[in-house]
């Protein structure tokens, strides 16, 4: 019984600390004011300047949507001579390339064996004139709101060199897509609004990210092809660059809408999370920067379990203790109470993080499918720890650290 208590205590500490972490930032996110972006260190040259923007859209074998994405991106409430749409075409069909060449854009063709966003952008930067002040990184299925570039320019007026915009779901036809969209809104509240409310850098999403052009160009070669956005976040933290969140600047993004797609997506995310955590903790030069608040917070974030796993595990332990009680099995009362607290904190953190606008009737069906979400994340987590995947991650870390 002592071994069981030790094991459960370790699990309880891990999930308990994680619950406290997301609860604190979820509460903080409630105080985030999207209309009062904090000013950052700036120069007089930054103010009231309409910056030239390069909108980088890497597209890998996504012929179905890239044309429509580009056409919509060309429509912006911003001087037309001050922004370029730059498509980095990787393995697109000849017919697609022909149609793209008819549009008033810049087209850069690359060829990589696997999809790689930042390597593609690096090639494009090498082939373009360096007269841009801002680089907007965009997915090939995203849609920009009409005033997005103007809002980003205003954010840069505040002195920020990196700004993450608010990504909103553009498809909510299936329960899985709704679950995915709710998950992202929760992330927005905790890891973007909450972070910024307490003064740390917000998390990057992977698209809708605006960078000072020269800053991105200088860091881009440090970004791994595995765990790209997480690596970039940590490199920005090491460079003491604060990442702002522009909640009122909107892009629309397609969400996964099938169980298999969500499993694959989450598996890739968790693999990247594990890889980045091991890589940066195993590098003595980088770990020495742990006193950097943003860097420390990003390291901690890599070890957080998925929220749906937190909910599922907490409730399983609570139910287990209830069953033990009615079965007259010896109970550790303080552990039982602690699990109730963990479950309560997690539920409150998730509830507070869901915006009011998505708490409508249409989303109630998604909550009925929470067990399905728990199953998806469980499968994804165990897939990460398969021998083949584990060896792949360790080898990648070894090769990077010992390069």
Residue pair 234/297 in contact by the 8 Å Cβ criterion? no
Provide the phi-psi class of 328: left if phi over 0, else alpha when psi is between -120 and 50, else beta.
left
Q: What is the DSSP string of 157-209?
A: HTT-SEEEEEEEES--SSHHHHHHHHHHHHHIIIIIIIHHHTTSPPPP-SSSE
Full-model pTM: 0.86
Residue pair 251/207 in contact by the 8 Å Cβ criterion? yes
Hey, what are 270's tokens?
């968790």
Q: What is the chain's pLDDT, residue by residue, as a tens digit (403 residues)? A: 577 778 889 999 999 999 999 999 999 998 887 655 555 454 445 555 899 999 999 999 999 999 999 999 999 999 999 999 999 999 999 999 999 999 999 999 998 888 889 999 999 999 888 789 999 999 999 999 999 999 999 999 989 999 999 999 888 778 888 888 888 999 999 999 999 999 999 999 989 999 999 999 999 988 887 888 999 999 999 999 999 999 999 999 998 888 788 888 888 888 888 888 888 887 766 766 777 899 999 999 999 998 888 998 999 899 888 887 777 665 567 888 899 999 999 999 999 998 877 766 556 666 666 676 776 777 766 676 654 555 455 555 556 555 5
CB atoms within 10 A of CB 159: 17
Domains of the chain: 2-28+282-401 (no CATH), 42-257 (3.90.550.10)
Name residue 329's beta-bridge partners: none
Q: What is the pLDDT, as a whole number, of residue 287?
A: 67
Residue pair 5/335 in contact by the 8 Å Cβ criterion? yes
CB atoms within 10 A of CB 93: 11
Alpha carbon 235 to chain centroid distance?
15
Integer Cα distance of 48 and 135 in angstroms: 18
Q: Where would I find the beta strands (DSSP E) of 180-312?
A: 209-212, 243-253
Hey, what are 8's tokens?
């459960």
Hey, what are 20's tokens?
């406290």
CB atoms within 10 A of CB 27: 18
Q: What is the pLDDT, as a whole number, of residue 119?
A: 92
The candidate with the shortest Cα–Cα distance to 154, out of 42, 71, 33, is 42
Q: What is the pLDDT, as a whole number, of residue 357?
A: 73
Q: What is the pLDDT, as a whole number, of residue 150?
A: 94
Q: Which residues contact 46 (CB under 8 A, 6 or more apart)?
A: 156, 157, 159
Q: What is the pLDDT, as a whole number, of residue 364?
A: 62
């Amino acid at each position: 019984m002592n071994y069981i208590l030790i094991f459960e205590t370790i699990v309880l500490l891990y999930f308990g600390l994680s619950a406290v972490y997301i609860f604190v930032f979820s509460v903080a996110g409630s105080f985030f004011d999207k209309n009062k972006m904090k000013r950052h260190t700036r120069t007089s040259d930054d103010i009231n300047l309409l910056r030239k923007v390069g909108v980088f859209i890497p597209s890998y074998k996504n012929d179905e949507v890239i044309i429509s994405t580009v056409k919509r991106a060309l429509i912006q409430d911003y001087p037309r001579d001050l922004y370029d749409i730059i498509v980095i075409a990787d393995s697109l069909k000849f017919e697609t390339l022909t149609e793209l060449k008819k549009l008033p854009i810049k087209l850069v063709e690359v060829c990589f064996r696997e999809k790689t966003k930042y390597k593609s952008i690096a090639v494009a930067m090498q082939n373009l004139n360096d007269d841009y002040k801002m680089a907007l990184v965009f997915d090939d299925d995203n849609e920009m709101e009409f005033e997005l570039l103007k809002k980003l320019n205003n954010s840069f007026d505040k002195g920020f060199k990196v700004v993450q915009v608010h990504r909103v779901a553009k498809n909510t036809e299936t329960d899985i897509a709704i679950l995915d969209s709710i998950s992202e809104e929760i992330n927005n509240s905790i890891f973007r609004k909450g972070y910024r409310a307490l003064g740390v850098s917000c998390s990057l999403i992977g698209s809708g990210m605006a960078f000072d052009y020269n800053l991105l160009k200088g860091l881009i070669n440090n970004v791994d092809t595995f765990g790209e956005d997480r690596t970039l976040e940590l490199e920005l933290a090491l460079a003491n660059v604060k990442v702002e969140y522009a909640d009122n600047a909107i892009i629309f993004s397609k969400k996964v809408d099938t169980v298999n797609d969500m499993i694959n997506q989450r598996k890739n995310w968790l693999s990247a999370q594990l890889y980045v955590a091991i890589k940066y903790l195993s590098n003595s030069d980088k770990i020495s920067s742990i006193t950097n608040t943003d860097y420390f917070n990003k390291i901690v974030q890599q070890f957080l379990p998925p929220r749906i796993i937190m909910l599922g595990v907490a409730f399983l332990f609570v139910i287990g203790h209830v069953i033990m009680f009615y079965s007259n099995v010896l109970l550790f009362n303080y552990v039982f109470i602690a699990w109730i607290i963990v479950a309560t904190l997690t539920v409150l953190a998730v509830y507070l993080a869901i915006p009011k606008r998505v708490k409508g009737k249409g989303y109630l069906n998604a909550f009925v499918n929470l067990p399905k979400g728990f199953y998806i994340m469980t499968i994804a987590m165990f897939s990460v720890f398969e021998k083949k995947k584990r060896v792949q991650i360790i080898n990648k870390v070894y090769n990077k650290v010992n390069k």
